[in-house]
Amino acid sequence: MRILGIDPGYATTGFGLLQTEPAGVRLLRYGVVTTPKELPFPKRLEILYDDLMRLVEVTSPDAAAVEELFWGHNITTGIGVSHGRGVILLALTKAGVPVFEYTPMQVKQAVVGYGKAEKRQVMDMTRRLLHMDRVARPDDAADAIAIALCHARSQTSLLARVQAEQKE
């Protein structure tokens, strides 16, 4: 299964593509989608949508894992990111990609084993689990890889398999 992890934003949106296999999980590619800050906000959202649609076309994911928003101190930035996240969800849905959403705490729990882990711990464990030479950069891409890894680990857990068998 190909999993596209997305760390939402409107200025910078991280992505990471993983391939799950019987032998484990493999990192296929990662990066960021950016929008020029000098453009009007609606134009930036349009660019985000178009670029994400192209990314889905090129990567052909079987599922997408998107981080749910954590509202920090800057509400103004949070609102902009919320708009970007909406565009991302729209693009994935229009492309027919099943979307799964995870909180930051769920990502930390799945990757590190501790829901209150620090960002650097998540990044280092992601690097180790995927046998990467170094932590992915920028941080948005590293976060997206961790989100995809969270989905990969969630979907291959014993509980997920039992639930799938019960649906059949």
What are the catalytic residues?
A: 7, 67, 140
**3-state secondary structure (DSSP) of residue 83:** helix
Q: What residues pair up with 25 in beta bridges, in sequence order?
A: 20
28 burial type by CB count under 10 A (0-12 exposed, 13-18 middle, 19+ buried):
middle
DSSP H helices in 4-157: 41-59, 75-94, 104-112, 119-129, 139-155
